[in-house]
Amino acid sequence: MNPTIKALEFSLYPGEPFNADQAVRDFLVTVEADPILIPTTWGPAERQRLEYRKEDILARAAGEKFAGVVYIHRNKAIKYDGSVDIGPFRYIGFSFDKALAESQWPALLSLSDRLAAAIKTRFAVFHIFRAVPFPWTSEEDKLRRLMNVAAYPVPSVFRKNGPLGLGLRTIFGGDIIDLFGRERLLSTPARVSELPWGGIQIDLAKDLWNIEPETLAQTWKAAMDHLAPAQAFAVPVFREGREAIMFTPSPAWSAKIKARSSAGRKGT
């Protein structure tokens, strides 16, 4: 039996060209497309809760004093907290209720796919985080811990280090495909699909919900080993005491940052 679910998360980084107003509109329209995902509240701050009205959000987002992040929430099944950052981080994130019924899980994948298409993502990860012994006591537990950490590319870590690793479902687009190489991505030993909008999707299993932890870990490692020659994934650094995993930029990401800096472009 699969270990206890700790979290269901989705992270997405929009591609170029990027239009902030359009990104917010596409984000809300895409979420609203499924009636069981329509937000109940929203806020311009994480802890603020206002009655959800799409037009109110669009008007606020277009204002000169807008801080750059829209938070949405749903307190009915399906429950979630989501956000779209149209500031420097350019990030979309969702955290779904870990007690969600399995019958509703496919709706989460559908949302991630639709957002990736609407926003023309450069990199997106959907992952189910399951409990891992901490600190780890075996190489298998260490591998599963690394997989969990790598599947959670928060903006502060992603901007510095680039992609950390694969999740249960990973979507590549734009410059991130170029970073790895299209042919290398397409030949990954996993379930690989070319998407209509030009992206590449990698699933670690046909049934993402019920794959056994041992099988998942080995599939993840085989796929990561295949992509390793591209030197595009961040390099994990294991802290002594088995308490933390940090990352350093990969050679490909470091070169990318240097090239952008030389060209006078901000952010990654």
Tens of pLDDT, residues 195-205: 999 999 999 99
**What percentage of residues in the chain have a pLDDT greater than 70?**
94
Over 70: is that where the pLDDT of 3 sits? Answer: no
Q: What does 162-196 look like in DSSP terms, one character per residue? A: ------SEEEE-HHHHHHH-HHHHHT-SSEEEE-T
Tens of pLDDT, residues 14-31: 998 888 889 999 999 999
DSSP H helices in 45-165: 54-61, 105-119, 139-150, 155-161
Over 70: is that where the pLDDT of 214 sits? Answer: yes
The predicted structure's pLDDT at residue 1: 40
Tens of pLDDT, residues 253-266: 999 888 877 766 55
The mean pLDDT of 53-58, rounded to a whole number, is 94
The predicted structure's pLDDT at residue 134: 80
Over 80: is that where the pLDDT of 241 sits? Answer: no
Give residue 257's identity as a one-letter amino acid code: I
pTM, two decimal places: 0.92
The mean pLDDT of 100-126, rounded to a whole number, is 92
Measured distance CA(106)–CA(197) in Å, rounded = 21
The predicted structure's pLDDT at residue 17: 85
**What percentage of residues in the chain have a pLDDT greater than 90?**
68
Between 27 and 99, the more confident residue is: 27
Residue 120 φ/ψ region, left for φ over 0, alpha for ψ in the -120 to 50 degree band, beta for the rest = left
